[in-house]
Amino acid sequence: MTLDPHRPRFHLVADGWMNDPKPFYWNGEYHLFFQHVPGDPKPGAMCWGHAVSRDLLRWEMLPVALSPTPGSIDAAGCWTGSVIRGPKQFHLFYTAISQFAPLRQTQAVATSDDLVHWTKSPQPVIAEPPPGFGECFRDPQVWREGDAYYMLIGSEQPGGAGGAALLYRSDDLASWRYLHPLFLGTPATGFDFECPDFFPLGDRHVFLSSRGLNYWQTGRYADHRFTPQMTGVVDGGRYYAGKTTLDDRGRRLLFGWIREPRTTAQVRAGGWCGTQALARSLEIRPDGSLGMQPVDELKSLRRSHHHIGPAAFGTLGDGVALLPLEGIRGESLDIELKMFCGTASRVGLLLRASPDLRISTPALLRVNEGMLGDAPLRLGAEEALELRVVVDRSVIEVCANGRAALTLRTYPPEGCDRIALFAQGGEARLISCDAWTLE
Ligand code: DQQ
C-alpha cells in the first residue's frame, strides 16, 4: 500500500475511503474529522475518522471517533456535521442515517472530554425536518452567538428552486427549536445545500455550501437572517464539502475533500481513496468577494530553490507556444509564478509532464472566457496572472491571484516530473517563476 507512487506525502490520506472534512481547532491543535470507511477504499457505512496536527502538514491518525451502531438511529452511517466546545464538554453534532432507501436522516449528538473518546446519545436531538422542504436534511453546523447556540441544517426547497439553510436555536445544546431559514438559495448554487458552513469574516458573513461544486456567498447578517451580496465558486476542480475552523491566530481556515477519479480496481490496489486539501486561509477582499491562500506553514517544507526570470515563449505552430521551465523538477513542488497573458486566449502550466512534454496535466486559464477550470477568474486589463501551485504526487492545488482555485488529480507514469508554460492563440510572457522542492 505505502508503495503507491500516487499517494500524497503531506496531504492527509487514510487507509480506506475518506470524504467530507469537519475541522476543529482546540488548544494549539488542529483536529480534522472526516467521513471515513476504515480499511475499504469505497463509500459505505460512514464513520468519523480523526487526525490531529500542530502544523497543518504532519498529521497523526487518532482512533475512529464515531462509527455506526447496529439497530440504532445511525445504523447505516454517521454523516457530516460539526464539533463545538460546550460549557463542560465537546459536542459533536452529526446526521444519523438509519436507512438508505428511503433515506432516513435525523440530527444526533455525541459528547467527549478529550475529543478522542465519544459517547453517543441514543435519541436524535432533531428527529424531523420542518414541513415544506425536500429530502436533504443534514450536515448540522453549530456555533455560539450571544448567550445561545445556533444550528444550521442543509436542506432544499421543493421543485429544484435551490438550497435552504434551516436555522435552529438552543440554550443548552440539548433541546433545539426551529426558527426559520437563515436564507433560501437559488438554482445557481445547486438544488440543495450540502455541508453548510457560516461564519463572520472581515466586515461580512460567509456562507459555504456544496452541490456539484463548492460555492461561497458573502453578505450581511442581521436578525438571524443572511442576505447574500456576492456569490462565487470555492474551487473550479475536484474539491468539495469545504468547511472551516478559526484558530488562535484569528485565521479562518478552509479545509476541503479532494475527490479521487480512479476506478474501483485502481483504488483497491492502492488501499486509499480521497485526500484532504491543504488548509487555505480565507479573507474578505476589498470588493467583498472571498479570497484564499494556502497557509504559510507550507513554506516550512521548502528545500532547494530555483528562479527563472523574464522569458518569452517559443512558438510551436497552430498558435501554440511552450516554455519549458528548465531546472524545475519534482513530484512535490511549491511554485510561485507571474506571467502576462498578453493576447493569448489560453495560458497555464503543464504539470507532472514527461521530459518530452507529450504527457502532462494542464492547469489552464481560459483567458477569453474568464474561467479557471469551473471557477470564474477574469483578469483586469493590466493584471498579471499570479499562480501559487502546490504539487504533491497525484494532487495539484492551484491558487490564482488570491481569488480563484483549481484542484486537479494526476496519475502519470514514472519520470513525469517536468513543468512547462503553455500559451495558445496569442503571445504571453513570463515575468518570473520561483519554485521549491518540498520535503
Ligand atoms: N457526504 C456526507 C453527507 C454530505 C455529503 C455523507 C457531501 O453528510 O451531505 O458522507 O459529500
Cβ contact 420:357 at 8 Å:
yes
Can you tell me the mean pLDDT for 156-165? 98
Per-chain mean pLDDT for the chain:
97
Can you tell me the mean pLDDT for 346-372? 97
Report the run of H or E that residue 269 belongs to, with start and end: helix 264-270
Can you tell me the mean pLDDT for 31-55? 97
Reply yes or no on whether the pLDDT at 417 is more than 50: yes
User: What cell numbers appear for 321 in the block?
Assistant: 507556444
Q: In this predicted model, what pLDDT tens digit does every residue of 235-259 receive, in sequence order?
A: 999 999 999 999 999 999 999 999 9
350 alpha carbon – ligand 1 mean position (Å): 33
pTM: 0.97
Rounded-to-integer distance, Cα 340 and Cα 385, Å: 6
Q: Which residue is it, cell 495560458?
A: 347
> What order of strands is seen across the sheet that includes strand 90-99?
77-85, 90-99, 104-112, 119-120
What is the pLDDT at residue 59?
98
Residues with CB under 6 Å of ligand 1 are 19-20, 35, 46, 79-80, 95, 138-139, 194-195, 240-241
Q: Tell me whether residue 20 is one of the annotated catalytic residues.
A: yes
Cβ contact 173:334 at 8 Å:
no
Q: In this predicted model, what pLDDT tens digit does every residue of 318-358 receive, in sequence order?
A: 889 999 999 999 999 999 999 999 999 999 999 999 999 99
For ligand 1, atom 5, the nearest C-alpha belongs to 194
User: What cell numbers appear for 161 in the block?
Assistant: 428552486
81 alpha carbon – ligand 1 mean position (Å): 9
What is the pLDDT at residue 3?
77
Q: Which of 20, 74, 139, 247 is catalytic?
A: 20
What is the pLDDT at residue 428?
95
Can you tell me the mean pLDDT for 257-272? 94
Report the run of H or E that residue 38 belongs to, with start and end: strand 29-38
For ligand 1, atom 10, the nearest C-alpha belongs to 79
- Ligand 1 atom with minimal separation from the 79 CA: 8
Ranges of beta strands (E only) in 223-374 are 225-233, 239-246, 252-258, 272-273, 275-276, 280-284, 290-294, 302-308, 311-312, 314-317, 320-324, 332-340, 346-353, 361-366, 371-372
Pairing of strands 272-273, 16-26: parallel
What is the pLDDT at residue 257?
98
Residue 227 burial (10 A CB sphere; 0-12, 13-18, 19+): exposed
Can you tell me the mean pLDDT for 164-175? 98
For ligand 1, atom 9, the nearest C-alpha belongs to 194
State the pLDDT confidence band at 1, using cuts at 50, 70 and 90. Answer: very low
For ligand 1, atom 6, the nearest C-alpha belongs to 79
Q: What is the 3-state secondary structure (H, E, C) of 203-230?
A: CEEEEEEEECEEEEEEEEEECCEEEEEE
- Ligand 1 atom with minimal separation from the 80 CA: 8
